[in-house]
Amino acid sequence: MMDHNHYRFAVMADPHDPDDELRAHREACPECRAFTDQLLRFESRLERALRVDILPKADVLPFARKAAAAAPRSRRWMTMAASVVLALLVAGGVWLTLPQRSLAADVVAHMAGEPDAWRRTEVPVPEPDVDAVLQGSKLRLKSGAGMVSYASSCDFRGHKVPHLVVQTPSGPVTVMVLVHEPVNKSTRFDEQGYRGTIVPVPGHGSIAVLMRDAESGSADVERIAARVDDSIVWTR
Amino acid sequence: MNDGVGGNQRRARFQALCQSLRPDLLRFAFWLSRDRALAEDVVQESMLRAWKAQDALLDENAAKPWLLTIIRREYARTFERKRLPTVDVDELIAKEEPMLAAAEEQNIGEVRAALMKLPDEYREPLVLQVLMGFSTAEIARELDLSGPAVLTRLHRARRLLRAACGEDTRLDPQE
């Protein structure tokens, strides 16, 4: 039988990875459950504290500059010519398809910077912490959305946006509420191992919902996006 | 290195991979050094080293731990090269104040200040676990420690942080 000290030591070392024995102790012991709740509230603060805004001054990778500088002169001319052709194509109308593609690409790129988001866990983020993350975007979640295992206010395209992870039977699902990104229609995407959809929310921008490829089918993503949309209560 | 189409595609892929991992690598380097300018230098130099050694990366899924190892070595090399002076933590906090205090909530700034003061041997495994998503076994491998030693450090890290932030620690376990 596990004692309180053993439980609390283990959960303080890794609050998000309780094994069956730890879970059983937590369920059976109100004092340790209260301790865990308090610890998880602090853990949420810790996760946000570590995610400092530290965008690089130079947005170019050092080898990207070097590779460009090292290219032979002829290749550089060809590259310039190709750039002009590309620019003409863009001016010719191809640009119409770009904004939504780039929004999806930005959402996917954001995922790589959030490793914790994909953790399978049964430990929910305390409700006040979820509410704090959502408050800035003037919304709250009804209980039907599912268990929220990750909640963070992230920098995205110059705005703070809520980034939530909801645990579902199909695996963790990431939801980004993009109140500053209105879109005209739903867009599905399948990029770099992520499958998702960006759906318009009239008057409130859009919502991006995505899963990792191995864990998802298109139907899963669409269904979850609809459920999330239904679970949102806008407070303005 | 192969300069053909395959080589170019592989380089582009590697570049995209590094670009996507860069924000967290910068954050990791910042919490390692507690100095933004130094963190940027270390990450830039590490990226160059990674670029030159990219053939050694056989599995893209292992890119993050691979890059982290390069960053840790580069940071250690910086110390050897420059013989950086012993740091005054309060000075570091004052220097990085604009970034540390940039959080929307005041209590986040408080946690950041406590993290700055946390001893290196506790801060590093904590950052690897919470920010980078490493398991205990991965942290043990990266820091060349045993699993139980990692768990002890993680436990102590949280105990010190919580105490520094005025949390109720009466129910905290005894070691």
- Residue that wins the pLDDT comparison between A195 and A61: A195
ipTM of the complex, rounded to two decimals: 0.86
Question: Got the DSSP string for B49-117?
Answer: HHHHTGGG---GGGHHHHHHHHHHHHHHHHHHHH-PPPP-HHHHHHHTHHHHTTSSSHHHHHHHHHHHH
B127 within 8 A of B28, measured Cβ to Cβ: yes
What are the pLDDT digits (tens) for B35-46?
888 899 999 999
Give SS3 for B140: helix
Rounded (5°) CA angle B23-A45-B18: 10
- Residue that wins the pLDDT comparison between B147 and A185: B147
Cβ–Cβ gap A119/B111 under 8 Å? no
What band does A190 get if pLDDT is binned at 50, 70 and 90?
Answer: confident
Residues of chain B with C-beta less than 8 angstroms from the C-beta of A118: 133
Which of B150, B152, B162 would you mutate first to test chain A, the one with the most A CBs within 10 A?
B162
Question: How distant, in Å, are the alpha carbons of A206, B71, B76 from that of B145?
Answer: 46, 18, 17
Kindly state the average pLDDT of the residues B110-118: 93
What are the pLDDT digits (tens) for A154-168?
878 778 888 888 887
Candidate from B36, B51, B130 with C-beta closest to A46: B130
Structure tokens at A227: 């459920």
CB atoms within 10 A of CB A86: 11
What are the pLDDT digits (tens) for A30-66?
999 999 988 988 988 898 889 888 766 555 566 665 5
User: pLDDT above 70 covers what percent of chain A?
Assistant: 69
Which range among A219-223, B48-52, B136-140 shows the weakest confidence by mean pLDDT? A219-223
Cβ–Cβ gap B111/A46 under 8 Å? yes
A141 Cα to chain B: minimum distance (Å): 21
Cβ–Cβ gap A54/B99 under 8 Å? yes
* Type of residue found at A163: H
- Residue that wins the pLDDT comparison between A38 and A78: A38
pTM exceeding 0.90? no
Cβ–Cβ gap B133/A119 under 8 Å? yes
Residues of chain A with C-beta less than 8 angstroms from the C-beta of B175: 9
With residue A189 as reference, give the H or E element that holds it: strand A187-191
Indicate the CATH number of B1-85 among 1.10.10.10, 1.10.1740.10, 3.40.190.10, 3.40.50.2000: 1.10.1740.10
